[in-house]
């Protein structure tokens, strides 16, 4: 056999083997993604907690969305089409939509099975009340990074609206009042200063919003954040205390002071003539109002006997003060698991009650930490159970058909937060239930 023949044979073999290798690799990859999708369905992890992607028929199977997701294997390719294979891990970064080269991804709220109620807002973040805007977690953007971005964008829309408004205003009337000093509110206030607006930033607790309610040393940010006029915070992971210090520095650099405690009870009036009502009859007048109050201000209650006692809390700020106590944690999300593990670390006798039989709502890292504590006996887990009664020195759980009585000093309930529907309706803002459709 001549050398030329050998070369041609090798070339032909490579021509056949390379595509075959690619096909087999993609088939194996697709099979693994399909298995992950089926597992998520079996374990109840196929429901996303908030903002999430819907992949349209335009998907070309390039895999950019899969590669950029900060949460890991949330998206997978099945037969060259992207699918949300572990929906419970998706927390709405939105980088998949930005990375898609064919614009095949839309970010939506809710699913066909679980609707999500949100204020109705337009593309400029304006609600159904002309001049009242919504940004941040209240509008569905729960991530700190996304909330910062949306707060800035909302204020830019307000600035443009004011610039085009020829109506004259009293010198004592503010250009904008921002209700809520969390990430979205702070970002909006900084942007307002950059735009030369007269602004007041209000909060019922202080600068930080929902971050103030996080446990000590909790890691709260996993992606860099762009601060208007101040560059980028290039932290990939940052603790609660350090983040609050950054908030304080950013506010100081922009000349912003938070008026707190200042709980807004209602917003009345109309465009250019809004009256923001606060504590003890105090009022502020403003041309525009931005609501960035979040969804966690009102904890969801269980409505059971004994829940109104002073041994019940809906947040855990300092685990160390409960050292040695007998505590019950109620819930199966990230906040509940983090609280249980933190309390166990302080030597508490910890029990956790959750109504479902799997911890599908929590991140894998938190589930792993929790299960490790259960395996070593530091936490007792009562899945498929419900807290039915809180008494002076004990609590009663119902686990399937069995009553479980536990000695108890304190109860921590993490059942989520109630949307401030009454407040929004009092402001005249319309609500809409989203079911994950592209026309939502």
> Which positions ≥6 away from 110 have C-beta within 8 Å?
116, 433, 434, 435, 436, 440
In a domain, residue 440? The reply is no
**Whether residue 326 is found in the same domain as residue 244:** no
Distance of alpha carbon 92 from alpha carbon 74, whole angstroms:
11
Same domain, 128 and 225: yes
Q: Are residues 175 and 100 in the same domain?
A: no
Q: Which CATH number characterizes residue 16's domain?
A: 3.30.70.20
Nearest to 423 by CA among 127, 198, 188, 174: 127
Do residues 121 and 268 share a domain?
A: yes
Q: Find out whether 154 and 147 touch, Cβ atoms under 8 Å.
A: no
Kindly list the distances between the CA atom of residue 364 and the CA atoms of 21, 112, 125, 308, in Å, as whole numbers in the listed order: 32, 25, 33, 33
Residues 62 and 162 in one domain: no
| Within a domain: 388 | yes
Q: List the one residue out of 431, 421, 389, 430 whose CA is nearest residue 406.
A: 389
CA distance linking residue 9 with residue 13, whole number of Å: 6
For 33-73, the pLDDT digits (tens) are 888 888 888 877 888 877 888 888 888 888 888 888 888 88
Q: Are residues 215 and 236 in the same domain?
A: yes
Domain-located, residue 343: yes
Q: Quote the DSSP letter at residue 204.
A: S
| 24 and 65, same domain (yes or no) | yes
Domain that holds residue 327: 303-415
Instruction: State the alpha helices, DSSP H only, in 50-204.
Output: 64-68, 95-99, 144-163, 183-194
- pLDDT, tens digit, for every residue of 237-295? 777 888 888 899 999 999 999 998 998 999 999 999 999 999 989 999 999 999 998 76
- What is the model's pTM? 0.79
**77 plus 128 within the same structural domain:** no
Last residue of a domain, one of 108, 143, 170: 108
Are residues 252 and 352 located together in one domain of the fold? no
Residue 273 has what pLDDT?
92
Closest by Cα among 46, 106, 87 to 439:
106
Q: Answer with the residue of higher pLDDT: 79 or 374.
A: 374
Q: Which of 80, 108, 136 corresponds to the end of one domain?
A: 108
What total of structural domains would you count in the chain? 3
Task: State the DSSP H helix or E strand holding residue 7, giving kind and residue range, or none if neither.
Answer: helix 3-42
Same domain? 148 vs 218: yes
**Residues 152 and 277 reside in one and the same domain:** yes
Q: How confident is the model at residue 380 (pLDDT cuts 50, 70, 90)?
A: very high
E-assigned strands of 116-243?
116-119, 132-134, 174-179, 199-202, 219-221, 225-227, 231-233, 238-239
Burial readout 384-396 (b: 16 or more C-beta within 10 A, e: otherwise): ebbbbebeeeebb
Q: What is the CATH number of the domain that holds 309?
A: 3.50.50.60
């Amino acid at each position: 056999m001549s050398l030329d023949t050998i070369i041609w044979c090798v070339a032909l073999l490579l021509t056949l083997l390379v595509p075959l290798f690619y096909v087999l690799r993609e088939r194996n990859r697709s099979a693994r993604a399909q298995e992950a999708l089926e597992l998520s369905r079996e374990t109840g992890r196929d429901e996303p907690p908030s903002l999430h992607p819907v992949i349209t028929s335009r998907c070309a199977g390039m895999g950019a969305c899969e590669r950029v997701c900060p949460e890991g294997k949330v998206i997978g390719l099945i037969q060259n089409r992207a699918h949300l294979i572990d929906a419970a891990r998706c927390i709405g970064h939105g980088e998949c939509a930005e990375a898609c080269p064919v614009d095949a991804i839309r970010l939506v709220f809710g699913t066909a099975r679980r609707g999500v109620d949100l204020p109705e807002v337009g593309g400029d973040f304006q609600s159904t009340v002309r001049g009242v805007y919504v940004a941040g977690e209240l509008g569905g953007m729960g991530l700190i990074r996304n909330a910062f971005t949306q707060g800035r964008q909302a204020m830019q829309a307000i600035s443009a609206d004011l610039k085009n408004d020829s109506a004259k205003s009293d010198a004592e009337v503010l250009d904008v009042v921002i209700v809520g000093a969390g990430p979205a509110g702070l970002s909006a206030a900084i942007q307002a200063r950059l735009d030369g607006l007269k602004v007041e930033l209000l909060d019922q607790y202080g600068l930080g919003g929902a971050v103030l309610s996080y446990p000590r040393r909790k890691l709260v940010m996993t992606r860099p954040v762009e601060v208007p006029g101040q560059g980028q915070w290039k932290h990939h992971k940052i603790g609660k205390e350090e983040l609050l210090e950054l908030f304080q520095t950013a506010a100081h650099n922009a000349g912003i002071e938070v008026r707190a405690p200042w709980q807004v009870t209602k917003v009345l009036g109309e465009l250019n003539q809004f009256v923001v009502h606060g504590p003890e009859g105090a009022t502020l007048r403003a041309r525009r109002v931005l609501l960035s109050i979040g969804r966690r201000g009102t904890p969801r209650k269980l409505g059971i006997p004994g829940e109104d006692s002073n041994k019940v809390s809906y947040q855990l700020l300092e685990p160390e003060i409960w050292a040695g106590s007998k505590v019950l944690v109620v819930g199966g999300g990230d906040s509940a698991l983090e609280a249980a593990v933190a309390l166990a670390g302080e030597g508490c006798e910890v029990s956790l009650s959750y109504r479902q039989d799997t911890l599908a709502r929590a991140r894998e890292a938190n589930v792993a930490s929790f299960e490790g504590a259960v395996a070593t006996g530091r936490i007792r887990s009562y899945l498929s159970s419900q807290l039915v009664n809180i008494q002076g020195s004990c609590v009663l759980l119902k686990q399937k058909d069995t009553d479980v009585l536990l000695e108890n000093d304190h109860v921590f309930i993490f059942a989520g937060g109630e949307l401030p529907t009454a407040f929004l309706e009092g402001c005249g803002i319309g609500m809409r239930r989203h079911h994950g459709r592209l026309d939502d």
